[in-house]
Each structure stands twice: as structure tokens, then as C-alpha cells.
Chains A and B, each alone.
Chain A
């Protein structure tokens, strides 16, 4: 019986084995020396960027969201946490939630002696939902924040919403819904608590201000999430 050998196939097989070996060495190096964290909007993932101009009471200006985070955070209480609310100034639930959100932004601060934990910086990403009657603008977002008159928020003058002016909340213009899409927001309001290293610690259920903090099935508000998760310094005294 005559055997026919294909030298060309042998060359290909040989080359394939050698180059594959090289590839798997690369994969092994990556697998054994890194532990990557995906960017996403689930708890434990790295928060995406928040883009757009920001308003903190003194006109709209560009801001760099990444400056909020300290990649070398070691769990100490001196680094700031971040709370973000995705909202629409014409969303009735967001208007209802405004009082609590404003109060929280005043409580969880370094300057408050009643709070013994790390400072939480509050942001609101204000969008315009594709719903009839939801027409917003930067002026309306500013009016919502400052509780000033002249603009309509969910059927009432923005000045008549509950609570006081949000002097410690930075509002981000997301009228083009870019952040909504990037963060995969399914309803407003939705809240995210983010650790100082940029990892998401807690997310509320879409369209509500509650979510499970510790996996016990109980629904906790964003205030519970801050109290339970934000690093606290015992030496400062009780909350």
C-alpha cells in the first residue's frame, strides 16, 4: 500500500501548533497576572463615565467625572463616595423624591458633625424622557435645582417642588439621553452609590429609589444604602 505524505499540510500543522502555543502563553500571562473589572452598571462593576455640562449653582461648565474617583482607595473614610440620581425634571416620581435627595445631600457631608462617615458627593443626571409633555432645558434643570420660579416641573412651578434648593447637588445636562443610554437606565428616578475607587456599590431598582443593599431581600432606600455601605469612622462619633 502506497502512503502519500502532504508536506505542505505538515508545515501548516507545525506552524499552527507553535503559534497557538505562543497565543496561549499570552493568554496564561493575562489570566494569572490580572483580575479585570468590567465597566458596567451592575453592583461590583466599574461605573461608566458621566458626560455633559454640569451646573452647581454658578452657570453651566464642563466637568470631568473621573476626577471624583481615587483608583488607589484602600477602604479609608477620607475618600469621597458618589451618589447619582438619573432623573427628569418632568417626572412626577423624581419631583416627589427631590426633597429626600436634597436632605441626603446636606446630611452626608464632612461638615455635618452628625455624620461620622466619608463625604458623599451628590450628582443628578437630568434627561428629557421621550414622553409627551416632558420638555426640559438647561434653564428648567437649573430652576429645579435652585427651586426658582418660571419653569414647569411635572405640572407645577419648579419653585413649588418639595424640599429646599439642592445646594450640594451637581446637575449634569443629559437632555440628549447619552448618559441614560450609556448607563442603561430603564426608568427615572434610578440611583447609584459609587465607591471612591469608581466601583458601583449599590443600584436602586429601575424607576424607584429602593433596592436590596445586603442581599436579604429587603428593599432599602438610597439613604439606607449610604448608611449601610459608606465607610464610617468610629472615632468621629455616632450618626
Chain B
């Protein structure tokens, strides 16, 4: 009974974290602008491509930040000896996050959840600043930096997925954070390509 409740609350939490990332993805995808057109009267930023991309990026990074806090929270709870999402199936974030051999960054020994938390916070600062002042002189540098950091994130994702394959377990919360990074890379990439062009000035 307790396990069923835990599994249900885990799924609900994943939904809460996944929702802004899915909406962010829809805003970033080039062929979904029609979906958000009716909302552009209510939210003026959605009327331009730049506005949609930045809104999508902000939402995605917010989701990534929140789910990273959650993974670090799970890390701390597992270290206390508690169970959060332990399971005999392949989906067992406790087994992945609680694995002392793989749950911290090599050399620095910092939990991966904390790395994600700090990284998504920094990325959100970049994205939010650009959305507030798209014409700023530093906007291009921020876009370059955001693209670089999210691109480097692919390497980290590759490493963490290799750990999961070795453990034969999958951490749903970590995967949600990985997806947020990939969506954010797509957002930064598109914005970087747009910068300086006519569409950016609209």
C-alpha cells in the first residue's frame, strides 16, 4: 500500500516537473507556433518567434532546475537511509542516485543533483536576462555561453546514461533533467542562429 502511494506520488511529481519542460519543448519546436497563436493576445511575448523561444527556454530551465533540486533531495534522503523511489523494476531512482560509486562527480565529489541545480540556475539567469533585454550588448555572449554549457551537458548525460546502463536501472528524475538540458540546447541553438537577423528585432 505504502509502495503504491509512493509510486503514485513519484509519477505525480514527474508530471509536475515534466509539464513545464513539455510546454517549453512545444514553444521551442519550429512547427508548433500555431498552437500558441491564440494565446499571443494574452501573452504578448508569444506573438514573436524570439519571444516563444525565450519563453520556452525559461520554462524548460525552470523545470530542469526544479527536478535537479528533487534529485539532490533524493540523494540526501537515500544517504539518510530512507527510500523514495526504490523499485525492483528498471525504474529505480534510489538505486541510481544512491549508488555511492556513481552518484557524485569524479574528482570534485559533488552530487550530480547539485551540479544540475547550479548549472540550471546559471542557465536560467542567462536565459531570463536575455528575455528581459534582447537587444543588450551581452545577449550574444550569453547565447554563446548557454549553447556551450548545454552542449557540454551532452557529455555529462552520456556519462550518466552509461552508469545507468551498467547498473541496469533508470532514474526517472535524472532522465527528466537530461531531457531539459537537451531541450534547452535546442532553444539556445535556435536563438543563437536568430541573433542579429531580422526575426530577432521583431
Q: Which residues of B contact A197 (CB under 8 A)?
A: 81
Q: Which residues of A contact B83 (CB under 8 A)?
A: 71-72
Interface residues of A in 142-200 (CB under 8 A from B): 197-199
From B73, B101, B125, B129, contact of A49 by CB (8 A):
B101
Q: Is B37 an interface residue (CB 8 A)?
A: no
Q: Which residues of B contact A39 (CB under 8 A)?
A: 79, 100
A12 vs B72: C-alpha distance when bound (angstroms): 28
Whether B76 contacts A12 by the Cβ 8 Å rule is no
**Given A30-B72, A30-B73, also A11-B81 (CB < 8 A):** no
A26 vs B136: C-alpha distance when bound (angstroms): 29
Whether A11 contacts B133 by the Cβ 8 Å rule is yes
Q: Is B124 an interface residue (CB 8 A)?
A: yes
Distance of A165 from chain B, by nearest CB (Å): 32
From A30, A37, A73, contact of B79 by CB (8 A):
A37
Contacts across chains A and B counted by CB atoms under 8 Å: 71
Whether A30 contacts B69 by the Cβ 8 Å rule is yes
Q: Is A227 an interface residue (CB 8 A)?
A: no
Q: Is B3 an interface residue (CB 8 A)?
A: no
A14 vs B128: C-alpha distance when bound (angstroms): 10
A213 vs B103: C-alpha distance when bound (angstroms): 31
Q: Which residues of A contact B129 (CB under 8 A)?
A: 11-12, 15-16
Q: Is A5 an interface residue (CB 8 A)?
A: no
Q: Is B41 an interface residue (CB 8 A)?
A: no
Q: Is A42 an interface residue (CB 8 A)?
A: no
Whether B128 contacts A36 by the Cβ 8 Å rule is no
Please, how many residues of chain B have a CB less than 8 angstroms from a CB on the other chain? Answer: 25
Whether B76 contacts A35 by the Cβ 8 Å rule is yes
Q: Is A46 an interface residue (CB 8 A)?
A: yes
From A7, A15, A48, contact of B125 by CB (8 A):
A15
A22 vs B124: C-alpha distance when bound (angstroms): 10
Interface residues of A in 1-42 (CB under 8 A from B): 7-8, 11-12, 14-16, 18-19, 22-23, 26, 29-30, 33-39
Q: Is B88 an interface residue (CB 8 A)?
A: no
Q: Which residues of A contact B132 (CB under 8 A)?
A: 11, 14-15
Q: Is B80 an interface residue (CB 8 A)?
A: yes
Distance of A31 from chain B, by nearest CB (Å): 10
**Given A8-B133, A26-B117, A36-B76, also A46-B100 (CB < 8 A):** yes
A11 vs B142: C-alpha distance when bound (angstroms): 13
Q: Which residues of B contact A7 (CB under 8 A)?
A: 133
Q: Mark B52-73, 1 if CB is under 8 A from A, else 0.
A: 0000000000000100010011
Q: Is B13 an interface residue (CB 8 A)?
A: no
A13 vs B83: C-alpha distance when bound (angstroms): 40
Distance of B54 from chain A, by nearest CB (Å): 12
Whether A36 contacts B80 by the Cβ 8 Å rule is yes
In the complex, residue of chain A having the shortest beta-carbon distance to the beta carbon of B117: A26
Whether A8 contacts B138 by the Cβ 8 Å rule is yes
Q: A37-B79, A39-B79 are in contact. List 11 more A-B contacts (CB 8 A).
A: A8-B136, A15-B128, A19-B121, A23-B117, A26-B117, A30-B73, A36-B75, A49-B100, A71-B83, A73-B81, A199-B81
Binding site for B on A (CB under 8 A): 7-8, 11-12, 14-16, 18-19, 22-23, 26, 29-30, 33-39, 46, 48-49, 51, 71-73, 197-199
Binding site for A on B (CB under 8 A): 65, 69, 72-73, 75-77, 79-83, 100-101, 117, 121, 124-125, 128-129, 132-133, 136-138
| A-B residue pairs, 3 tightest by C-beta | A34-B76, A36-B76, A71-B81
